[in-house]
Structure 1
Amino acid sequence: MARPRGGSKKESVTSPEPDARARLITAGYRVLAERGYDATTVKEVAREAGVNQGLVHYYFGSKDALLLAVAEEARQQYMTELRRLREETPPERLAAESFAWGERLLKDMPEQFRVRYELFAMGLRNKELKSAVAESLRCVQEEVSLTVARVRQGQEDARPEPLDVHYAAIMKACVDGLSLHHLLDASFDPAPVYALLSRIILASLELPEAKKPPARKPRGQARRGKVPAPRRGGARRRR
């Protein structure tokens, strides 16, 4: 079979290793989280991934498209973990477990928030990517809203109502603000503020009454403590 025109140089670019794209996304995540958008270059990402620089253009077409794919991968990981938490945790424990998970993210994975904020900035400065960034934000909003709905309505198959969506928006905005403050000022500790936020949210949630059934007294105790109602006409008979 005759080789396509372009020679071995073209073939080396368009015949990559099977995992080259995934390696570029992983490398892009590390470089973007460490250096930020302006200092991230296609050459550096390719070097970090150990692949030909031309593969960046082959798979993504541009630096912005590569970084959008990086942010998309981070979003998918976040949503998968939140979905797993929601599906494996009983509704009555889901609120506390979700807040604990969020606190671990704030503490242990600041790079995930850094990539998220770079995504925001990318959508603001690149009009062509604005709709893709907005769609990414909507997907996260929907996943958080589903979690809030399950907590607030107490049902595994609960669908978000407007109030659930509003709660999700408030929590996302607060967590983003706390994390951004911490990234810009390492002396700021978001943990106690996050703990206060969780108490405020939990105290304001209107949970189903079925979750808190009234305590039942033993039968014997109930009989002994029962006061019989006065009979009609009792006072007249005593006279």
Structure 2
Amino acid sequence: MRGWEAVPYGSGMPSPRRGKTPPPPAAPEPDARARLIAAGQRVLGERGYDAATVKEVAREAGVNQGLVHYYFGSKDALLLAVTQEASRQYLSELERLRAQTPAEELAQTAFAWGEKLATDAPGTCRLRYELFALGLRNRELTPAVAQLLGQGDEEIARTVAHVRTGHDTAPTAEDLHYAVIIKACVDGLALHHQLDKSFDPLPVYALLRRIMLASIEQPAPPRAPARKPKAQGRRGARSSRARKTPGPRRR
């Protein structure tokens, strides 16, 4: 999948909203960016975007705070990178499910996995919705957030197409429409659960799964060839003659 390549701040990433960007460190560690993203997922997911600080993320990653600005430029762009990495892992897992799951089991398996992800990974879901809100406020982030949504739609559409046809194929426009509906519903239910812990999304997920599976055309199982009627042999011919009503005898 394209669109996930990492670039230091200044190569197309959103610029900081305030302050100056410090000069890059003399020799940044080769895995510093990956460590910052992993630390950002933990710190931002646990504390929330507004409460967490860049200093806390750098401390969690065990790197100099200046590397946050060098790689990302701002906390907004760090959140984007964290969410992009989570989405990359999500889409890779969905691709793996398509490759390893029998076609007749794929829909149920994919739905069950999506439900578990939405309910068991609240930190990741929270960051996703934080990013959506930032995308509405920070216009420099909007194109990247839109690209993130589009990549998710495309991968889910490929799964829908696989369920519908029974093999890996290019999705149609209708497959993409199904993907958008599914993603919007799952996002809405997960967000509801984030805001109201008394809300149980699982029964609604189950209903959504039934509605989608009943609506998406799935390949019919192969039909056994019809048996041809057996041709009547001599025995059948004799039986047929025997059943005839005998006529009057000639005298």
Q: Identity of paired residues, percent?
A: 64
Name the counterpart of 2:159.
Answer: 147
**2:191 is aligned with 1:180:** yes
Structure 1 segments, 4+ long, off by >6 Å, are none
CA contact (8 A) 2:122 2:194 kept: yes
User: Could you tell me whether the CA contact under 8 Å between 1:71 and 1:116 is conserved in 2?
Assistant: yes
Aligned equivalents of 2:211 and 2:114: distance in 1?
Answer: 15
Aligned residue in 2 for 1:166: 177
Q: Tell me the SS of whatever aligns to 2:141.
A: helix
The worse-fitting range, judged by mean Cα deviation, of 109-118 and 174-183 is 109-118
Query: 1:162 corresponds to which letter in structure 2?
Result: A
Deviation (angstroms), 1:213:
2.6
Structure 1 distance, partners of 2:111, 2:177, is 17
User: What are the Cα deviations for residues 151-175 of structure 1, in whole angstroms up to 9, with x where unaligned?
Assistant: 012222x111121111111110110
User: Residues of 2 paired with 1:14 and 1:130: CA distance?
Assistant: 32
TM-score, length-normalised on structure 2?
0.78
Q: Distance in 2 between matches of 1:216 and 1:43?
A: 73
Q: What residue is the counterpart of 1:204 in the other structure?
A: 215
Asked whether the equivalents of residues 33 and 115 of structure 1 are also in contact (C-alpha less than 8 Å), the reply is yes
Q: How many pairs are equivalent?
A: 213
Q: Tell me if the contact between 2:119 and 2:190 (Cα under 8 Å) persists in the aligned partners.
A: no
Can you give the 5+ residue segments of structure 2 that lack an aligned partner in the other structure? Answer: 1-22, 231-246
TM-score w.r.t. the length of structure 1 is 0.82
- Which of 99, 114, 125 is equivalent to 1:87? 99
1:114-137 per-position Cα deviation (integer Å, ceiling 9, x unaligned): 111111112111001110110011
Does the CA-based 8 Å contact 1:31-1:40 persist in structure 2?
yes
SS at 2:167 equivalent: coil
Taking the aligned partners of 1:179 and 1:117, their CA distance within structure 2 comes to: 10
- Tell me, what secondary structure is at the counterpart of 2:114? helix
Q: Hey, what's the Cα distance between the residues in 1 that align with 2:73 and 2:91? A: 26
Mapped to 1, the partners of 2:114 and 2:222 lie a distance apart of: 26
CA contact (8 A) 1:181 1:188 kept: yes
**Are 1:14 and 1:55, in contact at CA under 8 Å, matched by a contact in 2?**
no
CA contact (8 A) 1:86 1:94 kept: yes
2: distance between equivalents of 1:140 and 1:155? Answer: 20
Aligned to 1:191: 202
Mapped partners of 1:14, 1:187: distance in 2:
50
Q: State the AA in 2 paired with 1:213.
A: R
**Structure 1 CA distance, aligned partners of 2:222 and 2:188?**
34
1:52 aligns to what SS in structure 2? coil
C-alpha distance in 1 between matches for 2:149 and 2:62: 31
Greater C-alpha Rg? 2
Cα distance in 1, alignment partners of residues 69 and 198 from structure 2: 40
User: Which among 104, 118, 133 is matched to residue 130 of structure 2?
Assistant: 118
2:116 alignment partner in structure 1:
104
Question: Cα distance, 1:145 vs. partner?
Answer: 0.4
CA distance in 1, matches of 2:32, 2:173: 43
Shift of 1:193: 0.8
Which has the larger helix fraction?
A: 1
Q: Distance in 2 between matches of 1:31 and 1:180?
A: 19
